[in-house]
Structure 1
Amino acid sequence: MSTQQNTSSAGFGLRAVQFSRLTRRGILLGLSLPQLIVLATGVLSIVGALYAGGGILLAWTAPIWLLSAALAWTPVGGRKLIEWVPVTFRWVARTQARQTVFRRRVVKPRPAGTLALPGDAASLREWEDSETGAAMIHDPHAQTLTAIVGVSHPAFVLLDPGEQERRVATWGRVLATTCRSGRIARLQVCERTLPDGGSGLVEWWQRHGTDDGSWTSTVYRELIDRAGPAGERHATTISLALDLKAAARQVRTNGGGIKGAAAVLRQEMTTLVTALRAAELTITGWLTPAQVAVVLRSAYDPATAAILERNTDIGRTLATAGPVAVTESWDRLRSDSAHHAVLWVSEWPRSQVYPGFLAPVLLSSGIQRSFSLVCTPIRSDQAARDIRKKKTELISDAAQRQKMGQIEDASQTAEYGDVLQQEADLTAGHGVLRYSGLISVSAPSPEELDTAVAAIEQAAIQASCETRRLVGQQAQAFTVAALPLCRTV
């Protein structure tokens, strides 16, 4: 059965692909550093009790080593208890410092050039490139400069298998271009659904319609005004972040400062546009400050998205594009007109899948969501060192397990096979990237949000992916998943 399917697929030119497994190796025998610390604490308490007083002290120290064992080995929500300690501690600290609540100070103006965003995104600065007109976002803490380009493309799932395979190969060359540069910090592909304001229908009616006052034209015009905003459209952007540390020499050569960094980023933008056009993706242009402002406003206030699209004179200022109020809770976020929840794609398909495997998630209708794929390119020399390190650790762990009489399980063998495959791909000249997938789901009420999240989770299951709802960091994750600013969480 499998042979026939593979033969049939090969006849059409479409090949299945397989993702590497998420590495869960620890420092020793699969145990992470926090696990080793709490286990060492428990062992030391047992040994000390036995040497000092025997069974009586062992009973007195039982709470210590029992708690250590529970923290190290008890799983909760896909993590060990000890791994929840820093997450919970940071959440409690932020709650006590009232960092989970944001309210815009309407009377007090913000510094010029800022994006008026809450949380750690408040430090982002805007720079408008004089040559391209693009809005460049400067992150002074992460030392990156980001530009955003809008792209459009035909429906991938409607193409024939041969055309799909060709487009996948050309997209692979786009990613390989970012790896060879050595100056790219991240590449983010953001695909989001937006309420359709009906501007396309209005423009078509203005160009082709005949508004002669007749009953037919009146009904048609009223239908466009009422039914146009009820639709839904998809928008795709690609964000390119320049690593200012890696490009420090080129930045100094071009005059230094943000102006020199913008000149270097323009070079990378030209290279990316050339690669995207070779992949037959239509470039709609680099986003201007006004367009970035609309994207930010629509993310935090989805109710105004259709209004901003139909009225091109309002909501185009970055100084006022941020939210008015944001309240973060443990597993969700509340902004101006919507409730949000962010899901993390914790496992990509473990079996072989075809390139359109994400169709159930991306084509889900009636749900307002944003899907962000953050790609971090790894230089060839660094990737080679990481692969050698992984091989050494896997072989050492296998030898240690053999000495202790432990049985080698299939997951460890599969992980070693993934490392060998990555080494073979790197030797063949391919680039190595680290992928992170985040899905932001928005809804007008908490009940509708829970329904939409459940629908997305089911769609992810159909796509052979595993998703987990992030907790304790929803505000930071939302800026990564819903905003095309090329940030990390």
Structure 2
Amino acid sequence: MAVDMEERRVTARFPRLSGRGLIMGLGKAQLVLVGIAFVSLIAAFMTGRWLFFAAVIVVALALVPTWFTGRPLIQWVPLLGQWARRKVRGQTSYRVRPLAPRPIGTLGLPGDAARLRVLVDERTGAGLLHDPSARRLTAIAKVEPMDSFALAEGSRQDVVAGAWGSLLSSFCTDSSNGVTRVGVLLRSVSDGGEEINAWFQEHGSDQVSPAAYEAYADYLSRSRTDSIRHESFVSITLDMKVGGVAALIRQAGGGVAGGAEVLRSRMEYVRSQFTEASLSFVSWVGSDDVAVLARTAYDPDVQPELEAHREVGRSLAGAGPMGLDESFTYLRTEAGYQRVLLVVEWPRKATTAGFLQHLVVAQVRHTFALICEPIPTRKAMAQARRASTSAETSRIWERKSGAVDTVERKRERAALAREEEALESGHGALNFAGLVTVSGHTLDELRMATEQVRTAALRSGCELRIIGGEQASAFIAGALPFGRGL
């Protein structure tokens, strides 16, 4: 009797973004264009100004079917308008003003991130990031994998992924836990050979061969081995405006101190779940480490120096760049060039838990950020029902109009049905986005790094596209674990 010993893996399929639109696959902006063309046609009949209104009709109808980099061309108009306004106002450039004092506890970052304050939680030593405008508090945990996820057996990978999914699902409840964003940031950093030197100083011995020991020690002292290691961070963001959370904050004393007390309980819960997800908790990121994170994000080359001289580089006021110029598709600082890309397409076929391996460990210095926003259960179920109703209505409309029911539409309806069934079974729903940040000393190096991560993403079944017109805000969200979103 033959026994099937093949391991059964848990697989999942990412649904594609809906392209149904409101009517006949057209979105709001495209329907507005059709409406403008129709009104222009009527106006041409009434006024007789055919030449003028014919030009309006041609332009409007030409923009309806035109797509550029994955979205209708008309949807680029607000973004381009915003970019032009910022350019005119000089908001795409940033320069440090050395003689202008900064408020204590604020980060020297460009843009709206300059309002972030860092508060020290005396109990845990964590440097909590406070956004006074949005009334949010963010805590950052530094973690390390207990073992190699890529080398683990398939069943072990499924267990770890399930534990992480359970942790995220615990925030997708109707009860007011207040956690509105959970971020995971994995970055590859250069240590300039510091880890090799430290290991050699601790484990090296001249008992076997004094000559070899002396020669290798001399080599390490004279050379600069540029090795890359990976760092992992998990951030949780508390929204202090949520009704139930606001009441808990008042009971804890009110204000930011009360918010920190409420956030602390969420921090302890997250920490208790790390072991199940095969993560080892290192520490809560303190105020000094927040400054180092920001400093090394804008200038990756300074990482070895800051690690070799731990008494410098910990100033919050000096955490950001000395100067920054934002172009439409990249950033330029005094240290080089940076670019943020968005994961616009996740694997379209059934995939296992380790599908991001090629992208995460790509042989290029980069940062991968996964931003998750839990959706309360009732809201998620209501959204799923509306989406299912819209899909069914669209199917009936297309059948009456004689349109073919494509495979894409069938898969979309099946995905909606699976989502609704999963919610009914107690699973949680998330809005999530993946951001990849690359850097280079020159534009040519930046282009090369961009192509390398794109190739690695394709091997993981994903597609990356450069974010246009929002590089500064995307960099804060994608290169720093500060609980920011796009």
Q: Tell me which interval the TM-score lies in, with the shorter structure as reference length.
A: over 0.9
CA contact (8 A) 1:13 1:165 kept: no
Once residues 122 and 106 of structure 1 are traced to their aligned partners in structure 2, the CA distance between those partners, rounded to angstroms, is 15
Task: Give 1:108's aligned residue.
Answer: 100
Task: Give 2:447's aligned residue.
Answer: 450
> For the structure 1 residues 249 and 284, does the alpha-carbon distance in structure 2 shift closer, same or farther, using more than 3 Å as the test?
same
C-alpha displacement of 1:59: 4.3
Once residues 338 and 148 of structure 1 are traced to their aligned partners in structure 2, the CA distance between those partners, rounded to angstroms, is 27
Task: Give 1:186's aligned residue.
Answer: 181
Task: Give 1:63's aligned residue.
Answer: 55
AA aligned to 2:235 is: S
Out of 402, 411, 414, which is 2:411 matched to? Answer: 414
Whether 1:85 and 2:71 are equivalent positions in the alignment is no
Out of 471, 479, 482, which is 1:482 matched to? Answer: 479
Tell me, which stretches of 5 or more residues in structure 2 are unaligned?
none
Whether 1:222 and 2:218 are equivalent positions in the alignment is yes
CA contact (8 A) 1:293 1:316 kept: yes
Whether 1:430 and 2:427 are equivalent positions in the alignment is yes
Once residues 227 and 413 of structure 1 are traced to their aligned partners in structure 2, the CA distance between those partners, rounded to angstroms, is 60
Once residues 192 and 311 of structure 2 are traced to their aligned partners in structure 1, the CA distance between those partners, rounded to angstroms, is 15
**1:322-362: per-residue Cα shift (whole Å, max 9, x none)?**
11111110111112312111110001111111211111111
- 1:148-297 alignment to 2 at 5 Å? 148-153=140-145, 154-180=147-173, 182-210=177-205, 215-226=211-222, 229-246=225-242, 247-297=245-295
Whether 1:304 and 2:302 are equivalent positions in the alignment is yes
C-alpha displacement of 1:51: 4.7
Task: Give 1:4's aligned residue.
Answer: none
Task: Give 2:115's aligned residue.
Answer: 123
AA aligned to 1:478 is: F
Out of 389, 392, 412, which is 1:392 matched to? Answer: 389
Q: TM-score, normalised by structure 2?
A: 0.94
Task: Give 1:376's aligned residue.
Answer: 373
**1:92-149: per-residue Cα shift (whole Å, max 9, x none)?**
1111111111001111111111111101111111111010000100112332110000
**1:423-442: per-residue Cα shift (whole Å, max 9, x none)?**
11111111111110000011
Identical-pair percentage: 35
AA aligned to 1:238 is: V
> For the structure 1 residues 377 and 227, does the alpha-carbon distance in structure 2 shift closer, same or farther, using more than 3 Å as the test?
farther
C-alpha displacement of 1:465: 0.8
Out of 335, 338, 349, which is 2:336 matched to? Answer: 338
AA aligned to 2:309 is: N
CA contact (8 A) 2:191 2:227 kept: yes
The range that moved more, 117-126 or 212-221, is: 212-221
Structure having the higher helix fraction is 1
Once residues 24 and 338 of structure 1 are traced to their aligned partners in structure 2, the CA distance between those partners, rounded to angstroms, is 38
Task: Give 1:403's aligned residue.
Answer: 400
Once residues 371 and 268 of structure 2 are traced to their aligned partners in structure 1, the CA distance between those partners, rounded to angstroms, is 20
Whether 1:98 and 2:90 are equivalent positions in the alignment is yes
> For the structure 1 residues 141 and 32, does the alpha-carbon distance in structure 2 shift closer, same or farther, using more than 3 Å as the test?
farther
C-alpha displacement of 1:229: 4.2
> For the structure 1 residues 70 and 440, does the alpha-carbon distance in structure 2 shift closer, same or farther, using more than 3 Å as the test?
same
Task: Give 1:317's aligned residue.
Answer: 315
Tell me, which stretches of 5 or more residues in structure 1 are unaligned?
1-6
**1:177-202: per-residue Cα shift (whole Å, max 9, x none)?**
22236411100000000002333333
Out of 351, 362, 365, which is 2:349 matched to? Answer: 351
CA contact (8 A) 2:20 2:394 kept: no
C-alpha displacement of 1:220: 2.0
AA aligned to 1:168 is: A
Counterpart secondary structure, 1:349:
coil
CA contact (8 A) 1:339 1:442 kept: yes
CA contact (8 A) 1:196 1:228 kept: no
Whether 1:465 and 2:462 are equivalent positions in the alignment is yes
**1:233-263: per-residue Cα shift (whole Å, max 9, x none)?**
0001001101111221111111111100000
Once residues 95 and 205 of structure 1 are traced to their aligned partners in structure 2, the CA distance between those partners, rounded to angstroms, is 52
Alpha-carbon RMSD across the aligned residues, in angstroms, is 1.9
AA aligned to 1:159 is: A
Counterpart secondary structure, 1:110:
coil
Counterpart secondary structure, 2:109:
coil
C-alpha displacement of 1:290: 1.1
Counterpart secondary structure, 1:374:
strand
Counterpart secondary structure, 2:437:
strand
Once residues 335 and 51 of structure 2 are traced to their aligned partners in structure 1, the CA distance between those partners, rounded to angstroms, is 56
CA contact (8 A) 1:173 1:275 kept: no
CA contact (8 A) 2:142 2:284 kept: yes
CA contact (8 A) 1:198 1:310 kept: no
Task: Give 2:134's aligned residue.
Answer: 142
C-alpha displacement of 1:454: 0.8
> For the structure 1 residues 393 and 21, does the alpha-carbon distance in structure 2 shift closer, same or farther, using more than 3 Å as the test?
same
C-alpha displacement of 1:390: 0.8
C-alpha displacement of 1:210: 4.7
Whether 1:32 and 2:27 are equivalent positions in the alignment is yes
Task: Give 2:16's aligned residue.
Answer: 21
CA contact (8 A) 1:94 1:100 kept: yes
C-alpha displacement of 1:414: 1.5
Counterpart secondary structure, 2:158:
helix
Once residues 165 and 277 of structure 1 are traced to their aligned partners in structure 2, the CA distance between those partners, rounded to angstroms, is 15
Once residues 282 and 224 of structure 2 are traced to their aligned partners in structure 1, the CA distance between those partners, rounded to angstroms, is 22
CA contact (8 A) 1:293 1:318 kept: yes
CA contact (8 A) 2:43 2:53 kept: no
CA contact (8 A) 1:144 1:185 kept: no
Counterpart secondary structure, 1:305:
helix
Task: Give 1:3's aligned residue.
Answer: none
C-alpha displacement of 1:204: 2.6
Counterpart secondary structure, 1:340:
strand
